[in-house]
Every structure is written in structure tokens, then in C-alpha cells.
Amino acid sequence: MMAEPRRLKMTAREKASVVWLCAVAIVSLLWAGLGRADQGEISSVQVAPDLSSISIYSQGSLGKHTAFVIDRPYRLVIDFDSATIGNTKTRIRVERPPINEIRLGYHNNRARVVIDFGENPAPPYHIERNGDAVIVSLGKPPALPPSQTPPRPEPTPKKPTPKPPERAAGHQAVAKPSPAPAPPPVETPPPTPAEPAARSDASQNDDSGIVVKHAGVKSNLVYVELVNKDDPRISYRLIVDLDLEGLKMRSASLSDAKGNIRKFHVTRTETEKINSVAPGNRFTSGPKRYGPSRLTAAAPNFTEANIETGAEKRPESLSRPPQSGWPLKIEAFQPQPKNAVR
């Protein structure tokens, strides 16, 4: 026969311990159920039309609350003990100064309500309970301190006007000794209003390959700038020095774009010889016929100067004797006294 298993017998002390543990567990479960039944549930949040107050409604009594303010952005935070959030919006957009929005959530097992003011300083507030509702009253927001006042847009600064040369020259005269006189500037005739007329005249001369680009007068200097029609890089400049009172031409120069220059000097003409005689002795008894003059027949009014050597290039006609057979030419009267013996 098989032996029956041995049953363990509990002592009275062990039985009492088991009964005590069971009782503690039952009481704990009952206490937890009562605690959950006492928790309030936030059901809705309403904002007054004038934003003067915010009402937090709940089902059941909300637990103890704590409130504090956070800066930048400015927020009013209210935490509730023994409270939950029911079936309501967790984000309420207001977007009317000073309130931007209201948010609901949890933080460390506590229900939290955040009133967000954004960049507007948090106004003074007062929290009071009215049954199952919590009323948050808001005062007028304080004015922004000067350091936080948004700066006004400054007008765009104007560019400083340059100082006149006279003031700058005077300032240099005080700070430094009188400077050495500057070399005289090279005269470069500026374009004159006669340019359109010169262009119109040049445009009419279609047969020439060179046209007038600029022309003008400055201080008895007549200048004409010529350019090639086909290649504007090929240009010439003619400058003539005139004596308008004496109806004379002192000198002339012709240059090109490569820097080559030729200068011309005026010789004494027959007209100047006649003008050098006294006015009372200019008339003669009658016209006279002369043979061909070497000066008038062969000599030009200009002689060309060689820039490199400085020597003059005289026409070959001056070095050759006059040839016979030239046509006769009546020249200007030579001044003779009226009573001269012929």
C-alpha cells in the first residue's frame, strides 16, 4: 500500500499573519478606488470676450493648484494635483493681445494649464475657486520697459555730401605748410556744342573716308578731330593757333592716335611785308608789272619742322633757281614815295 502525503500543519501565528496580509491588501485596493473617485476632471476652458478672465470647469473637485510665470515667451502655468483632463480641446487659439493661446497637458502626473502671452508681458492675475470651477482673473498688462520696447524703424541715413574743394584746401593749409604749386594742366580742348553741326557736315561728305568727330575753339586754338569711317581707331587731331586781331596764323600741329606729331610754323608772307610799310607810303604812281617772284611762285606759307632732329624741311623749290618760262604774275604793289625818281 502506498503511503498518503504528509500534510503541513500551520501554527496559530502563521494563520494570523496570513489573515493580516489579506486585510491590508483589501484596504489598499479600497483606498485606491476611493482616491480615483475623488479626482476632478477638467471638462472645458472658456475665455471671456474681453479677455479679462479664463474659466476652467471640471467634473468633480480639482486638487490643490500651484501657479507661476515664465518669461520670454511670457506664460502663466497652473498645475493641479489629483486632476485629469477630460474630453476637451488641449489647444485653444485666441490670438488676441495679450493672449496667444491656451494649452492643456500633463507634467509629472499633474494636470497643467498654460496661458501663453507670447511677447506680451504677463498681466497681473488672481485665481479663485467657485464650486467645481477655477476662475483666473487677468488685470491690465504692464507697459514694456524701455529696453524691451520695439525700436522704431530708423530712416535711411543720407549719404554725406562731399566737402567743397575750398574747405578741403583750407584744411590742408592749416595742417600742412603751403604745398608747392602744381604744374599747369595740359590744355585738352573739351567737346563743345558745335559737335552736332560738325557731325552733320561730315555726314554729308560721303566721298571722303575721314569724317569730323569733334571740332571747337578755345583760347584762339582751333581744334578738329578726324576719324576713319571704316576704322574708328585711326584718328587725327589738327590744332591751329590763330591771331584773330592780326589775322595771322601763328602755328599748327597734326597728330595721330599712335603719338606721332608734326608741328608747322608760319613764315612771313608778302602781305606782312606790305603791312610793315608806313600807311603814307603804300600808294605808288601806278601799277607795275614784275617778273615771276621766287617767293610767291615757289615758297609755301608753312615750313615743316622735323621733331626728331629739330631741322626744318624746306621745299625743294626754294633751293632751285627760278626757271624761265614761268607764267607772269602781277604781284601786290610795292610801297614807294610819290616823288621817287624813276
Residue 286 has a pLDDT of 47
140 backbone dihedrals φ, ψ, rounded to 5°: -75, 135
> Rounded to a whole number, what is the distance in angstroms from the first to the last CA of the chain?
202
Render each residue's pLDDT in the chain as its tens digit; 342 residues. Answer: 455 555 556 677 777 777 777 777 776 665 555 445 567 899 999 999 999 999 999 998 888 999 999 998 999 999 999 899 999 999 999 999 999 999 999 998 899 999 999 999 999 999 999 988 999 999 987 766 655 555 566 666 666 676 666 554 444 445 555 666 666 666 666 665 544 444 444 444 556 788 888 788 887 788 888 888 888 888 888 888 888 788 888 888 889 888 888 888 765 555 555 555 555 555 444 444 444 444 333 334 444 443 333 444 444 444 444 444 444 444 555 555 655 444
Q: If we measure between CA atoms, which residue out of 288, 297, 300, 303 comes closest to residue 321?
A: 297
Largest separation between any pair of C-alpha atoms in the chain: 203
Q: Sheet containing 40-47: which strands, arranged edge to edge?
A: 83-85, 40-47, 53-59, 133-138, 125-130
Residue 302 has a pLDDT of 41
Residue 249 in grid coordinates:
596764323
Q: Sheet containing 91-96: which strands, arranged edge to edge?
A: 65-70, 74-80, 110-118, 99-107, 91-96
Measured distance CA(68)–CA(178) in Å, rounded: 75
The amino acid that residue 48 corresponds to is: A
Residue 91 has a pLDDT of 94
Residue 309 has a pLDDT of 38
Which long-range CB contacts under 8 A does 304-310 form with residues at least 24 apart? 304/262, 304/264, 305/262, 305/263, 305/264, 305/265, 307/261, 307/262, 307/263
Measured distance CA(265)–CA(249) in Å, rounded: 9
Residue 111 has a pLDDT of 93
Measured distance CA(59)–CA(86) in Å, rounded: 9
